[in-house]
Amino acid sequence: MRHRLRGVAMLLLGAVLLGTAGLSIGSWYGGRGTVPLSPDRARAVAAELLPEAEPNANTMVVRTYRYGVFLAADDLGSARADFHYRGRANCALSDQLRRNAASLGWQDLHRVPGDPCDGWRAEANGVMVTLTHRATWSTLSVVPAAPDRFLASALIGTLLGAAAGAALFWVVARRRPPVPWLVRTLVTVALLPGAALTWADLFPDGLAEPVWPAWWSLVPLLVPLWLALLLTGLFVLTRRPSPTGPATEATAAVHGTSPRASSGG
């Protein structure tokens, strides 16, 4: 029973590691082709949803980067515009945005928990807005919305990666030791840091922010480490003693005879 549970745990580990990598690849592929955000478009959206409020500074559209990796201009999350309403948190802006978004036909309108009061998020015409509050100011963020194929691509990538991970760990488990241990170690070391950073992004933000840059930023560190582990594994495999001699002697001892003894008898 313990051996079976260990095998199931290994299959789940492979599915989670490669499934997370597939999620990142799928979200990158599905997030391509996003319409870039212009300052004029961002100002128009802010004026449409919060016409009674005046931001304290001009909008700033920036090309987003995560983990030191710059996104392409047509990647999901590639640009954002933040409007700051300083002085103090203006919770009345939440009611204003909710009413205006509903009356103008904005979709996917839902509450965003916050402190000292909740904000709102809505989406329409390729743009997603999020209103959040802090003790000293309120912020309206305007970003490009995810393309229609984004969720489907992320889901397909996750399923394919999970299936590949479970199949890989199942295949290597059928090999003789230490091959299964070696392969599982290499795969875990190579993928665990990227998977951990990906899930750290997914818990607070979901897929609202890109997750694939975590893997790209780790490549300069993981590739040398993975190559070193691979060379170590090859050295271990080549230095394994051959079981032919001991097995032959053990077989002869079990039978209690030798070819010469047999012929003499």
In this structure, are 17 and 93 located in the same domain? no
Q: Which long-range contacts (CB under 8 A, 24 or more apart) does 158-161 make?
A: 158/19, 158/20, 158/22, 158/23, 158/26, 159/19, 159/22, 160/22, 161/18, 161/19, 161/20, 161/21, 161/22, 161/23, 161/25
Query: Are 66 and 100 members of one domain?
Result: yes
pTM attached to this predicted model: 0.73
Residue 228 lies in a domain: yes
Residue at 124 is within a domain: yes
Instruction: Say yes or no: 186 and 233 in one domain.
Output: yes
Residues 19 and 38 in one domain: no
Which residues contact residue 265 at a Cβ distance below 8 angstroms, ignoring those fewer than 6 apart?
none
Range of the domain at 53: 32-144
How does pLDDT run across 198-243, given as a tens digit for each residue? 999 888 777 877 888 989 888 888 788 778 877 877 777 677 665 5
Binned at pLDDT 50, 70 and 90, residue 11 comes out as confident
- Domain assignment present for residue 245? The answer is no
Residue 234 lies in a domain: yes
In which band, very low, low, confident or very high, does the pLDDT at 24 lie, cut at 50, 70 and 90?
Answer: very high
